[in-house]
Structure 1
Amino acid sequence: MNDSPSGPTNLAQDSANVAVQAEAIHGPVNVYQVAAAPSPEETFEVGLNSLRAGMAPEAREHIRDAVVLRNYVNGHSCFYLLLALLSGRTLQQVPPNEIAMLRCVRGAVRDDDEWADAIKLVDHLLTSRPPEGGAADIEQELQKLTDEQRNDVLQHMEMFLDSSAEDALWARAFDAARSDRRAKDRLRRAWKFFQPEPIGARVRPADPVLIGLGTWTGATATSALALATVGFIGATAWQHSGTAALSALLALAAGCYASVRSGVEWRCRKERRQAKDREDLRRPATTRGDGFASKIDRQFNHYFALYTPRDADQARWLSETAGVRRALRDEVVTIYRESTVNAKRVAWLTRYLVADVARRWQAGKLWDYRKELRVPLLVKAMCVLAAIAAAAAGAFLVWSGAHVSLLLVSLAALVAVASVWSAARVWLRIVAEYRRHSADKAEKEGLLAGRQEAFDRWKRKLADRPDDLEMARWLECDRKALMEQAMGLYRLKRQDVLAHAFIEAPATPFYDRARVEGGPWRYSKYKILLFLLTKDGVRQLTVHLDFQKATFRSRARTNYRYDAFTSVQVAETDNGENVFELTLTNGDPIKVKVTDPPTDVTETEDKDPQGASQLTLGTAGLGNALHVLEGVAAEGKEWIAFERQREKVPLAEVSKAVNAIFA
């Protein structure tokens, strides 16, 4: 890029569309929401959290409510009321009615209050223009503050570090940012913020026993008829053969029982194996659109490709597991679709299922069920031999009975064969269905136990998810780090920077986003634009921030004169998108999409998508950037001098109101 200020240079590719990779809403966490009947202390606490999260307008509202309207007045509340009024804007942007709020706490703070020094330092930063030695004086005042007070002053008074002490102040701010940027184990924990709250483990319930009334009626009728005809034949045979007929009757009963029992085992194993084989033959169907099923489809396709077993041919792996993939996908869609949940909330289950398939496939155990369900030769032999034995015993009974009454026994034999055959088939079906249900239920219980363990592991992994205030602090440190890089890159001292502004936007093409209920969207990847106004022109530095790794990349430098501005605007589309556009006299406009509409959460999860968009817009630094850039576009370089002149009146009013706080 051109480093000289002789002419405008810009990047046109920034107007590319932004695609959301995933998003989540965490809540309720009661960080930025007040209770139904909150106390003044609770209202103030919500305001303080909002301030530290970068939501200055919301912070002003809550803190004003607590301090001015509900008389929660002390040094602590007065200090943060003052910071909330000044945070993220210049004195020109502070309306007179808000300055007047400070008069409502006149005489509220004593000089020996632990917050008195912090309030006095704010006044000194607003009003002092000391010559040599000023830096040392302000440094001494900073040393009196606690770390909490010092960090809050450096963060929210950023626009007012405008004195001979500012190099020392910014050096301190940069040191604090370097120290805190990776604090609290950011590199290990930051990614967890973008993970949605997982939904609990489920399995598709075992299919119920499907035995209708007709089947039970048929079983009862055929069994009764079989018992009657066999009993008649047995009684008739007794008259001819005596105890031999009784032995044959017992052998017939035992043979039928053994044959049916082994037959049930045979049938259950065969049908269960066939059902599982049919799953292996199912091919994945292609689903389109952004519905729940299509998102689950993409999850399975992604993780099956990602979890390809080591040293395995991916094409072979995907081909051999296509049916399993389809069966698992269908199950997940079926058991979670009715909840209308965000598909990302079941991603943990998809990962677990795919990892389990990959582990069994690599160990050669994916098709172990074929061995386990193979019908043993002993079972087949038992079924056949028992049937033969029963048939032989029955034939002996018929032969014996025929000696007594040939016609009646012959007719009874025909009816007995038909009824026994029918009864055996019906009872085989009934018993096999109950066995199937029992086996399915046991299998589902085992699957649920495994999934519950996976769910518990994932919950434990997310247990130390960072809160929104930590995310806001890390992002503030990233901004300070970028400011330090820019000043080093352009070889500027803080006095050389007449004004500056940030714009934070989600980075294209893919990113994760998440927010707590009532908070702004946080992004896993940011595109940050830093504008430095110097006496020679505007220095623009554009970087991409990988928030989870705390690294900058794709740095682009752009420089232009003050008279190169044509217009600055933010356009809001019908679906809630906000696009920042800076037009220069030469070249295509610089466009940055600052906020996106919700794309992957359900209506139930996101109760106020427009409100979330506005909160995000407020924390993106757009308000101050527009104030600065619109002023330059309208008045050129003279805007800076004009701004200083315009600030004199509100500066005097603020200073007077601050001094009146002390008793």
Structure 2
Amino acid sequence: MTARQVTLPVHNNAPNVGVQAESVHGDITVYFLPPGAGPEEKLRVGVNYLNGGMPHKAGELIYDVLMSGHTSSEAWFHWLLAVMSGRTLRQLSEEDIAKLSAARSRLPLHRQDVWADGLRVISRLLDALDSQQPELRRLVRNELTGLDPLLREKIVRHLQLFLSGPVEDEVWTISVADAKKAQCANGRPERVWRFFYPAPANPRARQPVSVATTGRDVALAVVTTAVVATAAGWLFWVVLTTGRVGPIVALLLSIGAGYLCSAHGVAWRFNVERRRAKDAVHRPPQQRKAAPSGGFANRVDRLFKQYAGRYVPEGIDRAEWLNLTAGIRRHLRDEIVEVYRETRVGDKEIAWLIRHRIGDLKTRWTNGTLWAYREQLRTPVRTRALVVLGGLVAAACWLLVIATALPQEPLTGVAATVVLFVAAWRAVRGWSRIVLDSRHFAADQAEYDQRMADSWAAHKRWKRKLASKPEDAEMAAWLDCDCRLLIEKAMAHYKLCPTDVIAYAVIEAPAKPYLKRGRVRNGPWRYGRYELLVFLLTPDGVRQLSAQLDFEQATFHNLRRANYRFEAVAAVRVAESDRHARTFELALVNGELTTVDVTEASTDKLQDGESPLTLSEAALDASGLTTTLHVLEGVAAEGKEWIQRERQRGRKREETFLSAMRDLLD
């Protein structure tokens, strides 16, 4: 019975809420080949491509190494895996077989090293492909299980599709067992998220405003002070000539009182101005035009809203928290936008700093220090009293001095008094501003230094946390384990063993909205969520299993199954955009359509020296789309007859290949 009625489209039309974590690790060069690279470097990069699930590129690089004369067992081992990885025997091209034939004489025979052991196991697997001898199958299993674990994992990972016959069941059993062990190995649930975050940008903060006092201001203050001293000195001389002790004592007393008034007055004024400035920061912001959508400022806005909504202190309503901290959050947001706008730093690279700022805001709220500045900047009563008292005493004393001097020298005394008060007013204002500017700058500098020290400490903690991010090869290996286990789940559901399956294919596509993605230089995107499609071709038709994979937790969700005859497949298409984004479509004759966005545009987030075409090929190689098309396009074109015709078409090629391989490896 067919089950076309349960065929479900897996194209996710949910609105894309934006990537919340994204990284392009441009400093990681596992797939970067410098100009003029030698054989060792090419081999290293080729092996990296193979470990990353991109065998086509790996095969090209390693073959160049072999043809240059570097015929180590390691190079041969990895090249053979690259040629056969993710392919069936019938998918080998004439060029592949020609390369094998041309390379036969170059293989170093009878070497005794771990890679040669791997080559011998591959040879034994090929010998056992069509064998029905239980002894040979047991021998293959024993040799495979006794092989170095790293090499065994490579063989069972890359030769799954290539092997057929009874040996396929043996290898598949080992493969599934290894996948179950390795699926969450090396702390996968705790480490995967780190791959999606970029290296944190260095912390920045708004620099303190430099002292506004100029040389002209200082010169003017000095000149006015000299004028005050001259006028006061003349009045003192007149009072001194009278011989009266009271005015002389009052004049001397006015100097001390004036100093107390000025010194404590500056402190009072400093506290008032600084508290007023901090109140302005904490005050709810005025409504203003939103930042342009998609711009840097708009993305920073979203991050502030996201983290402010996440870090809500206990005991306060979320809406109240957001309302009471709106002003200071706006101030912090404006600072971030200002200091990073022209630096070409992305919002994801400073997300850690925004999170740190909001976390610090929550901490100060919780421990009651958010508004502590109000108490710290409250001028003591003693200080205010000294200012008032000093001013009154100084004024009284100068009145007595002037009253004494004017009768002695009326005209000159009036002129000296006017000059004294005008110059004193300018001098006090000038020196006050100079001192206040200096104190404000010192306070701002102290706050800046403290904030930067805290930020660098947070930066160090975040870098230490990201230091254990997985390598790209680990991400690919974990994904391969997920695919193997999903295939096993499909086989178990349909009660199939590997020899019951003519061919299978898996498509690995991002499940939108995936929220997290990351890649290394020249590597394919890795995602936080995948849409996996498994196609099993059996003599009775196609068995399809779709599932969403939570890559961080290694769990499958929303499993959907479908069965249909070969004749039910109407068309298989892949649409490629100008930016190399690919969409897979499988249409059934009843009109149902399965659509999957397999690869994204390769022109997005390019690093220096990266090629869109190279990235597109890497993404295609890693997606499994090529094998899927080979399997399904034949079914769509020929129906059930494809099975028999494909076997006939491939028989001669299989014989040629096996002959070449046995000559090569024996």
On whether the aligned pair clears a TM of 0.5, the verdict is: yes
Select between 95-104 and 243-252 the one with higher mean Cα deviation.
243-252
The SS at the match of 2:263 is: helix
The CA deviation at 1:244 is 4.9
**Cross-structure match for 1:272:** 274
Residues 431 and 608 of structure 1: CA distance in aligned 2, closer, same or farther (over 3 Å): farther
**2:600 matches 1:596:** yes
Q: Give the conservation status (yes or no) of the 8 Å contact 1:8–1:584.
A: no
Q: Which segment drifts farther, 74-83 or 119-128?
A: 119-128
Number of the residue aligned with 1:101: 99
Residues 121 and 141 of structure 1 are in contact (CA less than 8 Å); yes or no, is this contact kept in structure 2? yes
Q: Kindly indicate whether the alpha-carbon contact (under 8 Å) linking 1:240 and 1:403 is maintained by their aligned counterparts in 2.
A: no
1:573-588 correspondence to structure 2 within 5 Å: 573-588=577-592
Quick check: 156-165 or 440-449, which moved more?
Answer: 156-165
| Deviation for aligned residue 1:649 | 2.8
Point out the more displaced range, 107-116 or 491-500.
107-116
Question: What is the identity, as a one-letter code, of the residue corresponding to 1:83?
Answer: L
Q: 1:12 corresponds to which residue? A: 9
Take 1:434 and 1:661, find their aligned partners in 2: how far apart are those partners?
83
Distance 1:81 1:604, change over 3 A: closer
User: How far 1:179 moved relative to its partner?
Assistant: 0.6
Given the two structures, how large is their TM-score scaled by the length of structure 1? Answer: 0.95
Q: Give a deviation string over 1:183-209, Cα, whole Å, max 9, x none.
A: 111111111111111011222111111
Q: CA offsets per residue over residues 277-326 of structure 1, 9 Å max, x none?
A: 11112427533411111111101101111111123211111110000110
Counterpart position of 2:59: 60
- Could you tell me which residue of structure 2 aligns to residue 252 of structure 1? 254
Look up the match of 2:319: 315
In structure 1, how many angstroms separate the alpha carbons of the residues matched to 2:193 and 2:336?
25
Residue aligning to 2:503:
499
Question: Hey, what does 1:636 align to over in structure 2?
Answer: 639
Deviation at 1:93, TM superposition (A): 3.3
Residue 191 of structure 1: aligned partner: 193
User: 1-side partners of 2:140 and 2:479: how far apart?
Assistant: 26
Percent identity of paired positions between Structure 1 and Structure 2: 38
Question: Which of 626, 630, 634 is equivalent to 1:627?
Answer: 630
Q: Which residue of 1 aligns with 2:81?
A: 83
Change (3 A) 1:189 1:300: same
Q: Which runs of 5+ in 1 are unaligned?
A: none
Aligned to 2:352: 348
Closer, same or farther: CA 291–607 of 1 in aligned 2, 3 Å:
farther
1:92 is displaced (CA, Å) by: 3.7
Which of 455, 461, 465 is the aligned partner of 1:457?
Answer: 461
Q: Superposition RMSD on alpha carbons, in Å?
A: 2.1
Tell me if structure 1 keeps the 8 A contact 2:284–2:324.
no
Q: Aligned letter for 1:177? A: A
Shifted more, 197-206 versus 11-20: the winner is 11-20
Show CA shifts across 1:127-173 (max 9, x none): 63112415323213313422122111111111122111222211110
Quote the residue 2:373 is aligned against. 369
Distance 2:193 2:551 in 1: 8
Shifted more, 46-55 versus 641-650: the winner is 641-650
Which segment is superposed worse, 650-659 or 48-57? 650-659
Q: Which moved more, 1:526-535 or 1:632-641?
A: 632-641
Shift of 1:458: 0.8
Q: CA deviation at 1:424?
A: 0.6
| Aligned-pair CA distance for 1:599 | 9.6
Q: Give the distance between the partners of 2:8 and 2:661, measured in 1 at CA.
A: 44
Q: Is the 8 A contact 1:40 1:72 kept in 2?
A: yes
- The 3-state SS of whatever aligns with 1:510 is coil
Aligned to 1:329: 333
Deviation (angstroms), 1:267:
1.2
Tell me the SS of whatever aligns to 2:562.
strand
Q: Partner amino acid for 1:129?
A: D
The offset of 1:580, in angstroms, is: 0.9
Other structure's SS at 1:197 match: coil
State how 1:25-64 maps to structure 2 within 5 Å. Answer: 25-64=24-63
Measure the CA separation in 2 of the matches of 1:574 and 1:175: 42
1:8 positional shift: 5.6
The letter for the 2-side match of 1:420 is A
Name which of structure 1's ranges 189-198 and 392-401 shifts more when overlaid on structure 2.
Answer: 392-401
State which drifts further: 139-148 or 588-597.
139-148
Does structure 2 retain, via aligned residues, the 8 Å contact 1:8–1:561? Answer: no
2:481 corresponding residue in structure 1 = 477
Q: Deviations over 1:78-120 (max 9, x none)?
A: 1211111111223343332332223225252323533444334
How many matched pairs?
Answer: 658
Residue number among 621, 645, 654 corresponding to 2:648 in the alignment? 645
Q: Taking structure 2 as the reference length, what is the TM-score of the superposition?
A: 0.94
> Aligned partners of 1:433 and 1:164: how far apart in 2?
86
Letter in 2 for 1:384: V
* Structure-2 change in CA distance of 1:612 and 1:452 (3 Å): same
> Does the Cα contact within 8 Å between 1:562 and 1:633 map onto a contact in 2?
yes
Q: Kindly indicate whether the alpha-carbon contact (under 8 Å) linking 2:514 and 2:528 is maintained by their aligned counterparts in 1.
A: no
Deviation at 1:433, TM superposition (A): 0.8
Partner SS for 1:559: strand
Give the CA deviation at 1:594: 1.2
Say whether residues 1:521 and 2:521 are aligned partners.
no
Alignment-derived partner of residue 72 in structure 1: 70
1:658 to 636, 643, 661: 661
Name the amino acid aligned to 2:446.
A
